[in-house]
């Protein structure tokens, strides 16, 4: 009787356990597929603008205005407000704003509108006029026209959603580009590793490209690591736009390390029209820290086992003298 009671009880417990497991599994699946996440519930807006052109490369004429248009299209079903403002700093570069001087072109630039309201699927344009002074010499200028979209919520009118702003790069040049002179005004600096002797193969390789020419260019760097007794490895790094008077920094983390001691690091930067700028450095990879530790341990063992008597005599003499 008791035996049957316990058997029936165990069967009921197993059945209840199975029901609980099935219920928990159902709740998990329901939460994954049917319960909206916080982002879905709030229906957070996505970037809904198309800007054209995003980069403007202009030839400036002293004493004459240069004009172009920025076309903005709202591809969403909701009205979007746009605020435009001009920044004369190198917003795309690697130099902090505090170390930069604003470009003079900001003072020459006039926007036809700084605030727009675009309806659903509507397209509008901002007219940009650059009044170049008559007394400027050969030089290059840049500025960024930032467009900040603002989406107003009907439910919470007093709390607009500000989306990520979009930057339109404007490059202005007065003078003719000479690639021979450009190559002479571009230099590769701050190569790392800067030490000649390294304990291990470098985890990071970096360098900077400085542009002292009056105009901008597109830098395409090639990095070649050549071991003394091995095949060279050439890496094409991401190209970057280098504005006049600015600096760009490249960083690379080597993925393969050849077991060698002597290495040559060669950097070639293409500046256009077949012209390149070069820089070289050499470094030695030698685990000198491990070697020093081994030498110290060997010296201790040597004096401990083979020169033990002499060490004892020296200690006795020192103690006797005292």
* pLDDT top residue among 253 and 42: 253
Average pLDDT for 105-123: 92
| pLDDT for 265 | 94
- Identify whether 41 is part of a domain: no
Average pLDDT for 131-155: 83
User: Distance between CA 190 and CA 198 in Å, rounded?
Assistant: 17
pLDDT value at 227 more than 50: yes
Examine the domain organization and report whether 113 and 162 are in the same domain. Answer: yes
- Euclidean distance between the first and final Cα of the chain, in Å? 96
- Identify whether 40 is part of a domain: no
Question: What is the count of structural domains for the chain?
Answer: 4
pLDDT value at 264 more than 80: yes
- Identify whether 44 is part of a domain: no
Examine the domain organization and report whether 168 and 200 are in the same domain. Answer: no
Look at the chain and count its residues.
Answer: 322
- Identify whether 99 is part of a domain: yes
* pLDDT top residue among 292 and 59: 59
In the chain, pLDDT over 70 holds for what percent of residues?
66
| pLDDT for 30 | 46
What's the mean pLDDT when you consider all of the chain?
Answer: 78
- Using a cut of 0.75, tell me whether the model's pTM lies above it: no
| pLDDT for 273 | 92
| pLDDT for 162 | 55
| pLDDT for 203 | 87
> Do the bridges between strand 55-59 and strand 166-174 make them parallel or antiparallel, or are there none, so unpaired?
parallel
- Give the least confident one: 11-25, 80-94, 98-112, 305-319: 11-25
pLDDT value at 89 more than 70: yes
pLDDT value at 296 more than 80: no
pLDDT value at 235 more than 80: yes
Examine the domain organization and report whether 150 and 59 are in the same domain. Answer: yes
238 CB neighbour count, 10 Å cutoff: 9
pLDDT value at 167 more than 80: yes
The sign one gets for the Cα dihedral 47, 53, 56, 60 is negative
Average pLDDT for 44-65: 83
pLDDT value at 209 more than 50: yes
Average pLDDT for 254-276: 87
Q: Residue 59 is part of a domain; what is its CATH number?
A: 2.60.40.10
**Longest CA–CA separation in the chain, Å:** 112
Beta carbons of 74 and 119 less than 8 angstroms apart: yes
Average pLDDT for 220-246: 90
User: Distance between CA 159 and CA 154 in Å, rounded?
Assistant: 10
| pLDDT for 197 | 85
Q: What 3-state class would DSSP assign to 8?
A: helix
User: Distance between CA 246 and CA 243 in Å, rounded?
Assistant: 5
Pick from 152, 175, 198: which residue ends a domain? 175
* pLDDT top residue among 305 and 279: 279
Average pLDDT for 27-34: 45
Average pLDDT for 156-162: 55
HSE (side-chain half, CA atoms, 13 Å) at 233: 11
Q: DSSP letters along 61-105, please?
A: -TTSEEEEEEEEEE-SSS-EEEEEEEE-S-TTSSS-GGG----TH
Confidence band, pLDDT 50/70/90 cuts, at residue 237:
very high
Examine the domain organization and report whether 260 and 221 are in the same domain. Answer: yes
Alpha-carbon separation of residue 237 from 225, 245, 251, 273 (angstroms) = 13, 22, 9, 19
CA 305 to chain centre: 57
| pLDDT for 45 | 45
Domain that holds residue 235: 180-285
Quick one: which of 256, 280, 136, 124 has its CA closest to 196?
280
Beta carbons of 223 and 205 less than 8 angstroms apart: yes
Average pLDDT for 171-194: 92
Pick from 116, 140, 175: which residue ends a domain? 175
* pLDDT top residue among 248 and 37: 248
- Give the least confident one: 73-82, 284-293, 298-307: 298-307
| pLDDT for 228 | 85
- Identify whether 57 is part of a domain: yes
Beta carbons of 261 and 284 less than 8 angstroms apart: yes
Average pLDDT for 1-23: 48
Examine the domain organization and report whether 117 and 155 are in the same domain. Answer: yes
Examine the domain organization and report whether 167 and 193 are in the same domain. Answer: no
Examine the domain organization and report whether 17 and 67 are in the same domain. Answer: no
pLDDT value at 38 more than 50: no
């Amino acid at each position: 009787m008791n035996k049957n009671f316990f058997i029936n009880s165990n069967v009921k417990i197993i059945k209840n356990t199975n029901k609980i497991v099935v219920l928990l599994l159902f709740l998990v699946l329901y939460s994954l597929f049917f319960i909206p996440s916080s982002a879905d519930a709030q229906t957070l807006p996505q970037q809904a603008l198309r800007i054209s052109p995003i980069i403007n490369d202009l030839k400036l004429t002293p004493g004459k205005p240069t004009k172009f248009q920025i076309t903005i299209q709202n591809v969403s079903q909701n009205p979007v407000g746009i605020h435009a403002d001009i920044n004369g700093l190198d917003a795309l570069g690697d130099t902090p704003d505090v170390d930069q001087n604003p470009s003079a072109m900001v003072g020459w630039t006039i926007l036809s509108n700084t605030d727009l309201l675009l309806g659903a699927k509507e397209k509008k344009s901002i007219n940009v006029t650059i009044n170049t002074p008559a007394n400027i010499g050969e030089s290059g200028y840049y500025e960024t026209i930032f467009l900040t979209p603002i989406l107003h919520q009907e439910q919470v009118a007093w709390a607009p959603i500000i989306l990520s702003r979009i930057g339109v790069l404007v490059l202005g040049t007065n003078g003719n580009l000479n690639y021979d002179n450009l190559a002479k005004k571009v230099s590769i600096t701050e190569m790392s590793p800067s030490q000649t002797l390294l304990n291990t193969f470098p985890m990071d390789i970096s360098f900077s490209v400085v542009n002292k020419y009056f105009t901008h260019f597109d830098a395409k760097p090639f990095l070649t690591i050549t071991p003394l007794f091995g095949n060279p490895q050439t890496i094409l790094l991401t190209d970057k736009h280098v504005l006049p008077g600015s600096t760009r920094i490249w960083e690379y983390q080597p993925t393969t390390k050849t077991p060698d001691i002597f290495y040559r690091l060669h950097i070639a930067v293409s500046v256009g029209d077949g012209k390149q700028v070069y820089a070289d450095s050499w470094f030695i990879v030698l685990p000198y820290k491990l070697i020093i530790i081994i030498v110290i341990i060997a010296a201790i063992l040597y004096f401990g086992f083979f020169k033990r008597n002499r060490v004892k005599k020296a200690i006795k003499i020192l103690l006797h003298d005292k």
